Structure 1
Amino acid sequence: MSHEGIPMESDTIAAIGTALGEASVGMVRVSGPNAGDIGNRMLRLRKGPKLSARKRGMWYGTVIDPESGDEIDECLALWMPGPNSYTAEDVLEFQVHGGLQLVQGVLRATMAAGARLAEPGEFTKRAFLNGRIDLSQAEAVMDLIRSKTELASRSALQLVKGQFSDKVRRLRKRLIRLQAHVEVTIDYPEHDVESVAAAAVIQTGKELLTEIQELLRRGKMGQVLREGIRTVIAGRPNVGKSSLMNALLRRDRAIVTEIPGTTRDVLEEYANIGGIPFRIADTAGIRETEDIVERLGVERSREALREAEFIVVMLNRNEPLAADDERLLALTTNIPRVIAVNKIDLSMQLDEERLQMLAGNTPIVELSLKGGLGLRELETEMVKQVSSGGVRADDVSYMTNARQNSLLEAVIIDLEGAVEAAQNGATLDVIAVQLQSAYAGLGLVIGEEAGEDLLNEIFSNFCLGK
């Protein structure tokens, strides 16, 4: 792995590695060449050798302030000499009681003993710079922390373990062999004839294209798992939008009353539906109104509709279609959606024939939130609409992010260009340039020759202590 131009760190860093607040355990992590010396200055061990021993282990003792000698807390010290640690450096973790003052006191003591406060993501950055993980694995660490569903957690874990990286490396190996064949033919024409080399580009290039396009397809599903689908529940006042949000969340989040216009702002929560995180917004009822506050809420609802990736249009079965309903159906025609017709326990007043004409190919699900009917069918339809039938089990290993997907799209363009050039009889040097670009693009996906600016941008989004 090449990281030319990127300075390797030689100092020792420390940060709190657990959430701040009251807890049973708090942890402060130290990494770098002086981690053992810092530990020996701060630890009063009950028995056993000092941490300078190269053998990993856990010690019980007391952590002290190295300047005053005052005791801070009892602790367990977990010692992991490099390179067999998270950062591939010497790493020491102080595990103390989880009180906020105690954990911060331990952190201050590490500063006094010679460490500096770690930057966001610096532990994982060091793991990358020291060659223990590649860039896609490093990015997956944050995905694992931020996962909102079990499926997203499983997917991020597979990325951390390197399954995606291994796949990209195998593709790069095949691509470099193809590139070598072309360039040898350019430099040594007696090695092979151009037509044979071009035929190899066409055959192997198409095979690689198929595999990379599949990676990209899975990657885009990965973005759904990572970021959630921006979903808006929209409809006139009092059709049951807040009740639906509460039902999808399996808890009372929105206020539900019989009074139209109760919701005056946009409420947003994540709901795990079929393994997919839907970022659901309950909006103010969309209608013409003279109420200034409600009008502001309606405008925010319209703004949410413009930004939505998926919409649940709610209608009342017990009332005729209103002009506001028809405007909403027309406004959302080009956005993935499902129509939820609520209150099927009441008499039919809705013009079903007119609704079907306005709905077009949009699926219609009937439900009664009060009676608990139809919710499962609605959830099934929501998953189907955003994932073409759901998240397949084999998608889980290759959840990628926007940066990686953008690079894969560029690689596909380069490979398509190489294959097309070979089919059209272009010279091998033209084909070689596109193959080189595709090879470099795959390298950037996993962080080969990544620049310092890119790394700083990626790791700045990590939390402290990771």
Structure 2
Amino acid sequence: MVSRETRGDVDVSSAVACASDTIAAIATPPGTGGIAIIRVSGPSARQVAGRVFRPARQQRSEEPSQGHRPKWRAKLGGVFDSNGQFVDEAIMLSMLAPASYTREDVVELSCHGGPVVARAVLQAVLDAGARHASPGEFTRRAFLNGRIDLGQAEAVLQVISARTDRARRSASAFLSGQSGSIVSESREAVVQLMTRIEASLDFPEDDIPQIEVIEIGETARRIAMDLYGAASEVYRGRILWEGASVAIVGRPNVGKSRLLNALLREERAIVSDWPGTTRDTVSEVANIRGIPIQLIDTAGMREPTDAVERIGVERAKGALADANIALAVVDGSMLLSEYDQAIVAITPEDRTIVVVNKSDLAAAFDDGDLRCHVGNRRMLRVSALAGSGIDQLEAEIEALAMAREGHFDDGARSFGTRIADCLRRSAAALDDAARASSDGVPADMLSIDLRAALDALGEITGETAREDVVERIFEQFCIGK
């Protein structure tokens, strides 16, 4: 561990005590694979590994001089349990501090990738003196040892859990520090403002003139605008992890199931010319422009002819009410019916796309005939059968999904919520400072708001984050990471 008692507002006294432990866990996903990796980290990692691992060939010098010790070393050998019984063949990779993920001594044992043998190797390591790691403990140690900040720790979690490549790229950018530059640059700018104010307090004879106080306020306002913009971008980015739900609704036989298949790029739903083929909801997740979209095909909405169809229609209405986006499908080859008009009317204007399907057939009405029923809803023509217009429909779904701010499930685990909140609180504090400077408030009073802005930015990196916030982040990790 780095020799310090705290990291920001996080009380690490207990963490330091725990860091004296050597921890171990299976670092690869459960199940059968080519290899399984058992990760060991801590001050006694090499000693623990040495008790269970026997190299196939003894090295000439197991302990080269400190000045010439390689930072990484790989050896082929075998793992033996506490009774001396052979467990499995393995490769032991040793990484000496600080050249490791946790900045501690780390040893990784790569054995054959079966769940039973992996557990046996882990048990041998635990019997040799390691403690089973808690969820996220390896990454938490990387944070406490200063290898990564708290925002990057969250990005690690999102790289792992990304469901699309677009989500992965977004998280990777934050992990590499590319997306965190707004935080560091804003912190530096605010620090410079505070330095000017504090210099005047140290040297009262050089009191800051009012004109310069106003300039400080104007600079604070510019920084605030940048932070508000960054917060909006981060918040909208939640959609890459949470995704959006899309209900496909319409009367029977307008091509809802075929449209589902066209968006999925596979034959998922049964398609038939017989009306009422879909009697229940069919749900699948599609990757639409890098956003995980849950598509929900619903039963055709009409006056039910039996009890089963009545249940299907009620479920279709429920799916529409719960969905983030609605696709109201009408048949462009037939005149609009009262059912078409009624279904469109019950969809929310701000998040509905009216899809005029079967554009491969002769049109029974023009867009003007439909516009009076559509209102402010988006509208376009497609052919689910021929595939025409599907790319444009995906673009419209993306646009509505990315405009979902304010419609998120706050209980869901999502990347960026905490960061966006910190950015906005920092921006609000800077706005307060800017208003105070315009009102003629003395320069030394501005430092209160500027300090609040710095503290909010420090929460992103973890420098001023509360311990309960840190706990909530790392408890979301899996064991082994």
From 135, 142, 146, the equivalent of 1:120 is 135
Change (3 A) 1:444 1:295: farther
Change (3 A) 1:265 1:82: farther
Q: Structure 2: which 5+ runs fail to align? A: 1-6, 404-413
From 283, 287, 296, the equivalent of 1:281 is 296
From 74, 83, 104, the equivalent of 1:58 is 74
Distance of 2:364 and 2:400 partners within structure 1: 28
The aligned length equals: 455
The answer for the alignment partner of 1:12 in structure 2 is 22
Q: Describe how 1:184-195 pairs up with structure 2 within 5 A.
A: 184-186=199-201, 188-195=203-210
Deviations 1:333-367 (A, max 9, x none): 34323221112233434574342112234332212
C-alpha displacement at 1:61, in angstroms?
A: 0.8
Contact 2:299 2:312 in 1 (8 A): yes
SS of 1:88's equivalent in the other structure is coil
Distance of 1:123 and 1:51 partners within structure 2: 27
SS of 1:163's equivalent in the other structure is coil
The answer for the alignment partner of 1:391 in structure 2 is none
Contact 2:208 2:443 in 1 (8 A): no
Change (3 A) 1:263 1:424: farther
Q: Structure 1: which 5+ runs fail to align? A: 389-398
Distance of 1:351 and 1:151 partners within structure 2: 37
C-alpha displacement at 1:145, in angstroms?
A: 1.1
Change (3 A) 1:43 1:301: same
From 44, 47, 67, the equivalent of 2:57 is 47
Distance of 1:113 and 1:126 partners within structure 2: 21
The answer for the alignment partner of 1:180 in structure 2 is 195
SS of 1:93's equivalent in the other structure is strand
Once superposed, what is the RMSD of the aligned Cα atoms? 2.5
The answer for the alignment partner of 1:405 in structure 2 is 420
C-alpha displacement at 1:237, in angstroms?
A: 3.0
Contact 1:63 1:72 in 2 (8 A): yes
Change (3 A) 1:291 1:102: farther
Deviates more, 1:44-53 or 1:15-24: 44-53
The answer for the alignment partner of 1:317 in structure 2 is 332
Task: Output the amino acid matched with 1:58.
Answer: A
Task: Output the amino acid matched with 1:26.
Answer: A
Distance of 2:307 and 2:207 partners within structure 1: 78
C-alpha displacement at 1:137, in angstroms?
A: 0.5
TM-score of the pair, normalised by structure 2: 0.87
Structure 1 position 22 matched with structure 2 position 32:
yes
The answer for the alignment partner of 1:154 in structure 2 is 169
Contact 1:269 1:279 in 2 (8 A): yes
TM-score of the pair, normalised by structure 1: 0.89
From 32, 52, 67, the equivalent of 2:42 is 32
Contact 1:51 1:79 in 2 (8 A): no
The answer for the alignment partner of 1:356 in structure 2 is 371
Distance of 1:180 and 1:210 partners within structure 2: 21
The percent identity for this pair of structures is 39
The answer for the alignment partner of 1:396 in structure 2 is none
Contact 1:236 1:286 in 2 (8 A): yes
The answer for the alignment partner of 1:394 in structure 2 is none
Contact 2:158 2:415 in 1 (8 A): no
Change (3 A) 1:410 1:302: farther
Q: Describe how 1:358-377 pairs up with structure 2 within 5 A.
A: 358-377=373-392
From 236, 247, 256, the equivalent of 2:251 is 236
Distance of 1:271 and 1:265 partners within structure 2: 19
C-alpha displacement at 1:58, in angstroms?
A: 0.9
